Chains A and B, each alone.
Chain A
Amino acid sequence: MMTTQAPTLPEKHYLNAGYGWRSWLLTTDHKRIAVLYLISITAMFALGSFYAALVRWNLLVPDGSHMSAETYNKAFTAHGVIMVFFFLIPSIPATLGNFLIPLMIGARDLAFPRINLLSWYIYVFGAAITLYALLAGGLDTGWTFYTPYSTVYAQSNVVIAVVGVFVTGFSSILTGLNFIVTIHTMRAPGMTWFRMPLFVWAHYATSIIQVLGTPVVAVTILLVALERIFHFGFFDPNRGGDPILFQHLFWFYSHPAVYIMILPAMGVISELITCFSRKRIFGYSFIAMSSLAIAVIGFLVWAHHMYVSGMAVYSAMVFSALTYLVAVPSAIKTFNWTATLYKGSVQWDTPMIYVFCFIGLFLIGGLTGLFLGNLGTDVHLTDTYFIVAHFHYIMVGGAIMGYLGGLHFWWPKITGRRYLEAWGKVSSLLIFVGFNLTFFPQFFLGYVGMPRRYHVYPEEFQVLNVLSTAGATILGFGYLFPFSYLTYSVFKGRPAGNNPWKAKGLEWTTTSPPPAHNFDETPTVTEEAYDYATPPKEKSALV
């Protein structure tokens, strides 16, 4: 809102509603829990990046002289385990989702605030166990724990790591449970399903996957631990077990898991693109329904990770056909986002730059997925760097760009402060360039046959690998920028005011930062979502 004086911080808000360790570690305020998660997952991201650096350092030279094969196996395993389970899966839901969902639907908190806090403690406890496994001896099975290597032959900390991941899975399940119940039962009057922000729809779909998928991988890795300790024989061919059964059970979760990683980012993009086009999003109900479609169809395609495993080829054909189906709702979203831009008034603030990064990079990641869903081409490309490039385009080019965009967009709301916009723009470009230089060469490496998870490679691949490592260096350097200026802004940033982006949405009607109890009076919702034709209501600091 335009006033003649500069905005100030509200006198009382959730960050100063109590001081000291206990007010944070025993909080049930969803906003504080979101901040606790933000700090934890940032720490895990830094650790996962360190292991990525080790991997890229090894791949600078083709002869593997920088480290032993065992160390390399442990490095890429640690990178995968940390980034998948401890960064990507929780990232947007546990930070932005936790913070924003009650605000966006006009509620005072999530349905189960104490379970929310318990989720965080479970996450930290699981992380501690897994970190112990990774740091005290390490794990070399790959994040996928394939049998019978993990159950019979591996000489690393499999059981401890499996216990850590098992524990952490319950953090994810409880977060999903909390979101589902909150969205069903705690929407403010007038907030019908089809007036909800698409960010909320995205998290609803994500939560369904978390609740239905995670338990299956939980029991599966429990079986891996039992097998390793008691030699039960579920997955050991020598005892009549089938290693491919492990893969079915593992990927039943782990494929939908990638939708846990991308759906929240898509929710962020929907919010940002409509705000920074100053125009109601195109095809609201299509985007909402496509989130649910992705969640459901995503459970039908898992064996596309297993085409060459020895599974029956007729079954593989079924999964291939279903895999093509799952691309459709993602495409629907992309078309709708693009249509939103048409005749919109595009503002080039940092969050919007991340939106464009997302759309372009997610497009590349998604399209390359089609080559992999196809049985014939996958036989050539599977277990090569093509796969590595494909999923990093989605997970970094998609999910992380969405995360960074969302973080920048809602940072003023979360902290009450503005970050330095010029730094935001420069960093986003640095990250974009670094990312593409890291992963685009890997498509070529995969195409010409460089296998993944190999400690050494043929000499003729070195140039592309060096380019990739150079890109990774720029990318890593680039990440330091937002970490620095966002942290700086917490202490020295200009106060943001209630609605610095003039966005629609209930979260922007509260102060920045919001009061501990979110709303003095439950808001009543009378307008449709993203009604940018009507200017945001002028509201005083107390809603």
Chain B
Amino acid sequence: MSELAAGGGQHPALQHHFRDLEQQKAASSLGMWVFIAQEILFFGGIFMAYIVYRIKYPEAFVAGSHHLSWQVGFFNTLVLIGSSLTMAMAVYSAAIGKSRRVVGFILATVLLGSVFLGVKYFEYAEKIGPCLPGASGVGCLVPGERFDASALGVSGEAAGHTQIFYSLYFGMTGLHALHMIIGIPILLVIARAAWKERYSPEWHTPVEMVGLYWHFVDIVWIFLFPLLYLIGAH
């Protein structure tokens, strides 16, 4: 018997080049984990820069971090962890065959993710606003010509080095936010498929895979929060 021949009784989600659904699921899972592996190294590069400059300019990092609002960061961290909970619940719901709940939990994840991004927008606006043409420049925290270190409470060389802290702040949180901005439409696509009852306890791999991605993005923030917001808060 040719197990490769297309025949009746095959799961509609089975792709023709796979022997069976088990092989397809194993491949999808390994594929997503390998993708996450490369994401770890991708963020790793900018974390390396962070490590080097934190060692070089401890005072500037303390000053820069102190100026960030740890309350806002704390709130956002809880929001993102909450979105990981709703994502895990979405996968759970798919595994027990409750498609409506899958949709609900994914939308909750999207909502929480959007709250996070909304908060980030206000955080950025506060720092970027003063730098825009026509603005006073006071409190501008975008590295470059208009950078204003006066509110940070350091002087001399450390004041200049706070630019590196803020470069890393924008670079790291920006890269992280970009990953969320990419993730949200993908979540909506999965939600739509769930709405159309495409998933079952037997096969809900796309929900699991997007879940892995979302949890990874959460983990990056778990490290970013203390490294950026909580340096020398004492």
Contacts and interface: CB of A to CB of B under 8 A. Distances in A.
B46 A223 contact: yes
Contacts of A112: 27, 31
Contact of A216 (B31, B44, B175): B44
A109 B41 CA distance: 28
A216 B42 contact: yes
Interface stretch (A86-94, A306-314, A413-421, A516-524): A516-524
Contacts of A521: 2, 4
Interface string A174-211: 00011011101110000000000000000000000001
B136 interface: no
A330 B170 CA distance: 43
B35 to A, nearest CB: 6
A233 B34 contact: no
A69 interface: no
A528 interface: no
Given A234-B49, A521-B2, A522-B19, A173 B31 contact: no
A494 B124 CA distance: 67
Judged by DSSP, the binding face of A is helix
B163 A215 contact: no
Nearest to B60: A240
B17 A113 contact: yes
A100 interface: no
Interface in A267-324: none
B218 to A, nearest CB: 19
Contacts of B37: 211-212
A249 B49 contact: yes
Contacts of A108: 4, 16-17
B52 interface: yes
A365 B83 CA distance: 54
Given A212-B37, A245-B52, A517-B4, A185 B46 contact: no
A444 interface: no
A239 interface: yes
A242 to B, nearest CB: 7
Contacts of B157: 240
A92 B90 CA distance: 42
B34 A181 contact: yes
A252 B45 CA distance: 10
Contact of A185 (B23, B144, B171): B23
B143 interface: yes
Contacts of A233: 143, 163-164, 167
Given A215-B45, A230-B144, A231-B144, A177 B4 contact: no
A177 B45 contact: no
B164 A185 contact: no
Contacts of B56: 240, 242
A111 interface: yes
B10 interface: no
Q: Which 10 pairs from chain A and chain B are nearest by CB?
A: A232-B167, A215-B42, A219-B45, A109-B17, A108-B17, A215-B41, A111-B27, A185-B27, A216-B45, A240-B161
Interface of B: 2-4, 16-19, 23, 26-27, 30-31, 34-35, 37-39, 41-46, 48-49, 52-53, 56-57, 142-145, 157, 160-161, 163-164, 167, 170-171, 175
